[in-house]
Amino acid sequence: MTEYFVYDVFTDTPFGGNQLAVIPDATALKEADLQRIAAEFNFSEVTFVYPPKDKVHTARVRIFDPANELPFAGHPTIGTAIALSDLGADDDMVLELGVGPIPCKVTKGMPATAEFTTTVPLEKLNIIDVALIADCLSLPKAAIKTQNHPPQRASVGLPFVLIELNDLGILAQATPATEAFKRAEQQYPSKVDLFATFAYVRTPSGIQARMFAPLSNIPEDPATGSASAALGAYLTALSGQAQTLEIAQGVEMGRPSQISVSTTVEDGKTNSVTVRGSAVKTMQGVLTI
């Protein structure tokens, strides 16, 4: 039997944040069962931990959402780092992900906090038609704010469509329309993200956001570190200045999350993105397969 742990990530309170199942030793599991296990948990992501390919690193981590294997994701990286620290790993660690080695640092406490830094270059991908993205979110075109940037797919390891909305009331009204998402994926095809969208509003205290990925069986995600990292890198590229962002997410779902993002700049370009957050363990058990 294989042990697993469930953490709530990007929160200091049980039953907030984003759920993550961590299998700290996946070596006995069959390859064909990994996606099935992720679908069975039906969390936004599940991580499977293996010995590292490079012995100087801490572990190799594979990340699955309910429909796909992902090369990178934020809350799985934070949650897995804290889980491995709880199990005795060094608090300074390097996790091997699909995008390459990612350094992580855990600060013990109640709750524990972790951060990771990625230097994966920002990719600016498709600029998305405003009417189409409005349809995806069941909003009028006027709700999409384009003064600062158009709706655009961007990535630092996992792509998201980044959309600025006019105000918090509009953000609360956003509702994913699956048929529109299907049209969007046909128009802007991708192999992994399946038109995942990250809609946000600037607030006096920072940013409030929501993430929708219905084509990956994630109607809404309560905390998305990879999207937050992409947004931080993207805003850095737009301004040419380092960013420090406090991103609230999951508010409308009743699972409030807090994600801290900071960036560095070199020669006017994003040099690194650091994502920070807390996690609390809520459950543990065994897989009986």
Active site residue 45: yes
Plot region of 111 (φ>0 → left; ψ -120 to 50 → alpha; else → beta): beta
Q: Which residue type occupies 73?
A: A
DSSP 87-151: TT--SEEEEEETTEEEEEEEE-SSSEEEEEEE-PPPEEEEEPPHHHHHHHTT--GGGEE-SS---
Single out the catalytic residue among 45, 96, 115, 164: 45
- Residue 50 CA: distances (Å) to CA of 8, 17, 27, 114, 226: 22, 25, 6, 20, 22
Q: Which residues are catalytic?
A: 45
